Structure 1
Amino acid sequence: MKSIDYLKELTKFEHRGSATKNERQAAEYILQQLKRMGYKVEKQTFKTTRDNLYMLPLQVGVLLFICGFFSLMYGGPLEIALFLLSLFAISLLLLEVSGKPVETSIMPKFLSQNVFTSFDESRSKRIIVSAHYDTQRGSIMFHPKIVDKLSIIYNISYVGFGLIPIGILFNIFNLKFIASAILYIGLVIVFTDIVFMAICEITGRYTQGANDNGTGVALTLALAEYYINHKDKLPDNVDVIFLFTGSEETGERGMKSFIKKYRKKLSKDTQFIILDNLGTGKITYLEGEGMIFYKKAGKMLLDIAEEMERSHAGKVQKMKNLLLPTDALPAMAAGFDAIAFLAKDENGRLGNYHWHTDTIENVDTQLLSYEEEFFKEYLVKVAERLNKM
């Protein structure tokens, strides 16, 4: 089967929302396809929230607003406790964007799962090709007229969050005028952020997710079919695992769970190749991950991507990173080499990103066919280079 055939099947689901029944059904479809190809397949279940994109900033914002408000209005003996509580709130946000497998949300947990081909213990070197199969809830945050301004919105929010503990600290040192000014500004930004996130949470509804990330899953399934039928083209010592993660849209929960459980089975030279949002634009590889904690992609993976950028003139480009991380970040945070591939236009836009136009009709099928051959070539090159290490 070709990647477009897999994509057509995946988009028969109305959505594949994180930790929902639809996500479980999509996981079963992937599992059955891998078995049909001849793989021994494993399923790892874990529990996660159904949303962190909106709910975590909302939780952090509410906690910070309470701290800032009480400091501004009452202060006194509460200041030290309020300062520590505000730092705790900030730490939740920092942990979330760090890629570390630490739970940061108090919201109810639901069942999700990863599906992957079994490890070949006879081979000492491994490549993990991975794509998440869940979909996000589109909201006003990702409206086409707003999405290009997300970086500004996020930066203003981070400033507002950071002003709260700073203002409380000035209150502790009895610098009341400066503290009041900082807290007023911080509280206005945080309150605005709370209202905005609450609107997104209430009004958000799932997208079909053809591009994000039906395309990545379809290409990974096509690569799995290619690999099992052409193992003779890859070195005997290199094992290729095909990993399909659930609940990436809740903060890479699937990849974090996989690494937490299986990292001891992975040698330090394990290479992660992440395929995500590959339906429009041109093939784009990221030089690194993380908006706050930046981690560079694996050197060998980058070197090969750069070589192929030159040989596929005009078809491939590189960019520094994304505003929101991919599944490559948890792998990097755990010390593994990883790289993420997406498809973006020259201005860095992802097609129909987290919006209700993310349907199969808006996927460039010619691009998908081209990418299928591109990633076959890339996989072989990575395996050959890894075998020589």
Structure 2
Amino acid sequence: MSSPLFQIHSNLILLQITILILHSSLFHLLIFLNIKKRRNSYPLVVFKLRTQCKNTEKNRGFNMSQAYNHVKFLAEEIGPRGSCTTQERKAADYIKDELEKMSFETKGEEFKAVTSFSWVFGFIYLLFIISALIFPSTPNWGFILALFTFLGFYLESSTFPLLSRLIPKKSSQNIIATVPARSKTIRKVIVTAHYDTSRSALSFSPKMVKSFRRTYLLMVGAMSIQVILYALGVFTNISRNLLWALSLPSVIYLFLTLILLAHRELAGEYTPGANDNASGVAVLLEVAKVLARFPLLTTTVTLVATGAEESGTNGALNFLRSHHPPKDTFIINLDNLGIGKLTAVTQEGILGAKNSSLELLSFAESTAEEKKIDLQFLPYNLLTTDGTVFLMRGYPTMTLMAFDQEQL
């Protein structure tokens, strides 16, 4: 392809994360990533990782060349890994093979998932348009449909599937490996990283993504206005024709948003996903290598590479449904770690945001001070992550990401 590429200068970021969960107190995750971005024949972030670890860290099994190889293999050899595609399954097989090389008992768990969030939210926008079409003749049903659809939208945006249950699904899979504690288990920790990639879209272009949250909230406003106006039409004596006319700008906005989703599905291509999220998978695999040599004394660690995250956090949802981990299980989510400043996310969720675990944030802060890591603490109030799934259900969770100057 001839698309222009991003250029990252060498030494843009030094990512140092640590997981050494000692007894039931502090845990650290330590991996150095020295990242470069090059021009290539397609819009792919190419990472250059090299070892800068001290001898003691090397002895613990950290291998930055191998971390780089993971990113390169996933993003270049396998390439785009759309949810529920053959390429996604190839990535799952690669991750499973790598974990089995470390002598972990590893399993793949299949589940059904929607192939794109475009189908879910496109269905939602279509229902709002239908409610507008039927409101003049049957206002009660127009209002009920708009209200029900808004409820479905809110739940879907908060990682609680409702309308997506009506969308056809295909197979995806999670890859799971468990590192038992050397002694009696006192604490459980789950480390997650998704390995699928998203389609490109106009709304995710460098110019438009900066205003994504504003655009999203404007869309929420359009839906809310439609519901409120139709409620007034049902429960008051205000002219229904007037209220319907006032709702038309909102309906038109939702129609245009539906067109953008259709364009995404017809013209968008799956991205190679070096940053999102081969970088997170590389960290997870290198953490696994360390834990294989140095399992923790009283902490059992479960490593979960999730599928179909980009189409609606389906892998994390399926893991919760299948395993029901205890509510005191700590969750560390690794996502988009390749470019920018290392960030401990303090809050997640674009609607009804939830705060990250204060204990995990405190651990991250003390680790950063001890290891002299340049770590910042910021909220992430854009699209949902696997971490959002756990936060919304009351699990002590923290997502590690890397943000650029635009906090993206």
Please confirm whether the aligned pair reaches a TM-score higher than 0.5, indicating the same fold.
yes
**CA deviation after TM superposition for structure 1 residue 214, in Å:** 0.2
After superposition, give the CA deviation of every residue in 1:232-261 in whole Å (9 maximum; x if it has no partner). Answer: xx3x22101111000000110000000111
Inter-partner Cα distance in structure 2 for 1:205 and 1:189: 25
- Stretch deviating more after TM superposition (122-131 or 81-90): 122-131
- Look up the equivalent residue of 1:258 and give its one-letter code: F
> What is aligned with 1:88?
148
> What is aligned with 2:393?
334
Secondary structure of the residue that 1:135 maps to in structure 2? coil
- Look up the equivalent residue of 2:214 and give its one-letter code: I
- Look up the equivalent residue of 1:126 and give its one-letter code: K
Secondary structure of the residue that 2:249 maps to in structure 1? helix
- Look up the equivalent residue of 2:160 and give its one-letter code: K
**CA deviation after TM superposition for structure 1 residue 152, in Å:** 1.7
Determine which of 171, 180, 183 is the counterpart of 1:111: 171
> What is aligned with 1:7?
71
- Look up the equivalent residue of 1:244 and give its one-letter code: A
Determine which of 196, 200, 210 is the counterpart of 1:134: 196
- Stretch deviating more after TM superposition (211-220 or 57-66): 57-66
Inter-partner Cα distance in structure 2 for 1:14 and 1:5: 13
Equivalent residues of 2:336, 2:401 under 8 A apart: yes
- Look up the equivalent residue of 2:219 and give its one-letter code: S
Inter-partner Cα distance in structure 2 for 1:288 and 1:199: 31
Determine which of 207, 212, 219 is the counterpart of 1:157: 219
Question: How many residue pairs get matched?
Answer: 339
> What is aligned with 2:378?
319
- Stretch deviating more after TM superposition (132-141 or 5-14): 5-14
Equivalent residues of 2:210, 2:406 under 8 A apart: no
Equivalent residues of 2:134, 2:141 under 8 A apart: no
Q: Does 1:168 align with 2:220?
A: no
C-alpha distance 102-34 of structure 1, shift in aligned 2 (>3 A) = farther
> What is aligned with 2:112?
47
Inter-partner Cα distance in structure 1 for 2:163 and 2:141: 23
Q: Does 1:252 align with 2:317?
A: no
Q: What pairs up with 1:232-251 in 2 under 5 angstroms?
A: 234=296, 236-251=297-312
Q: Does 1:58 align with 2:122?
A: yes
**CA deviation after TM superposition for structure 1 residue 312, in Å:** 5.4
Inter-partner Cα distance in structure 2 for 1:189 and 1:204: 21
Equivalent residues of 2:108, 2:175 under 8 A apart: yes
Secondary structure of the residue that 1:324 maps to in structure 2? coil
Equivalent residues of 2:150, 2:223 under 8 A apart: yes
> What is aligned with 1:269?
328
**CA deviation after TM superposition for structure 1 residue 184, in Å:** 2.0
Secondary structure of the residue that 1:287 maps to in structure 2? strand
Secondary structure of the residue that 2:166 maps to in structure 1? coil
Inter-partner Cα distance in structure 2 for 1:108 and 1:278: 32
**CA deviation after TM superposition for structure 1 residue 303, in Å:** 0.9
Higher fraction of helix: 1
Equivalent residues of 1:56, 1:105 under 8 A apart: no
Inter-partner Cα distance in structure 1 for 2:168 and 2:326: 34
> What is aligned with 2:352?
293
Equivalent residues of 2:179, 2:291 under 8 A apart: no
Determine which of 257, 264, 283 is the counterpart of 1:200: 264
**CA deviation after TM superposition for structure 1 residue 330, in Å:** 1.1
Equivalent residues of 1:95, 1:102 under 8 A apart: yes
Secondary structure of the residue that 1:240 maps to in structure 2? strand
C-alpha distance 88-106 of structure 1, shift in aligned 2 (>3 A) = same
Which gives a bigger RCO, structure 1 or 2 (Cα 8 Å, sep 6+)? 1
- Look up the equivalent residue of 2:301 and give its one-letter code: V
Secondary structure of the residue that 1:205 maps to in structure 2? coil
> What is aligned with 2:41?
none
Secondary structure of the residue that 1:250 maps to in structure 2? coil
Inter-partner Cα distance in structure 2 for 1:277 and 1:199: 25
C-alpha distance 102-89 of structure 1, shift in aligned 2 (>3 A) = closer
**CA deviation after TM superposition for structure 1 residue 51, in Å:** 0.1
**CA deviation after TM superposition for structure 1 residue 314, in Å:** 6.7
- Stretch deviating more after TM superposition (267-276 or 174-183): 174-183
Equivalent residues of 2:342, 2:402 under 8 A apart: yes
After superposition, give the CA deviation of every residue in 1:159-204 in whole Å (9 maximum; x if it has no partner). Answer: 1111221121121123126513531222222222222222222211
Inter-partner Cα distance in structure 1 for 2:255 and 2:275: 33
Equivalent residues of 1:3, 1:219 under 8 A apart: yes
**CA deviation after TM superposition for structure 1 residue 333, in Å:** 1.9
Equivalent residues of 2:106, 2:175 under 8 A apart: yes
Aligned Cα root-mean-square deviation (Å)? 1.8
Equivalent residues of 2:194, 2:307 under 8 A apart: yes
Inter-partner Cα distance in structure 2 for 1:185 and 1:269: 47
Inter-partner Cα distance in structure 2 for 1:39 and 1:118: 7
Q: Does 1:100 align with 2:163?
A: no
Q: Which runs of 4+ in 1 moved over 6 A?
A: none
- Look up the equivalent residue of 1:34 and give its one-letter code: L
Inter-partner Cα distance in structure 1 for 2:372 and 2:207: 32
Equivalent residues of 1:100, 1:334 under 8 A apart: no
C-alpha distance 103-183 of structure 1, shift in aligned 2 (>3 A) = closer
> What is aligned with 2:244?
180
Inter-partner Cα distance in structure 1 for 2:171 and 2:179: 24
Determine which of 91, 95, 119 is the counterpart of 1:30: 95
**CA deviation after TM superposition for structure 1 residue 15, in Å:** 1.0
- Look up the equivalent residue of 2:230 and give its one-letter code: I
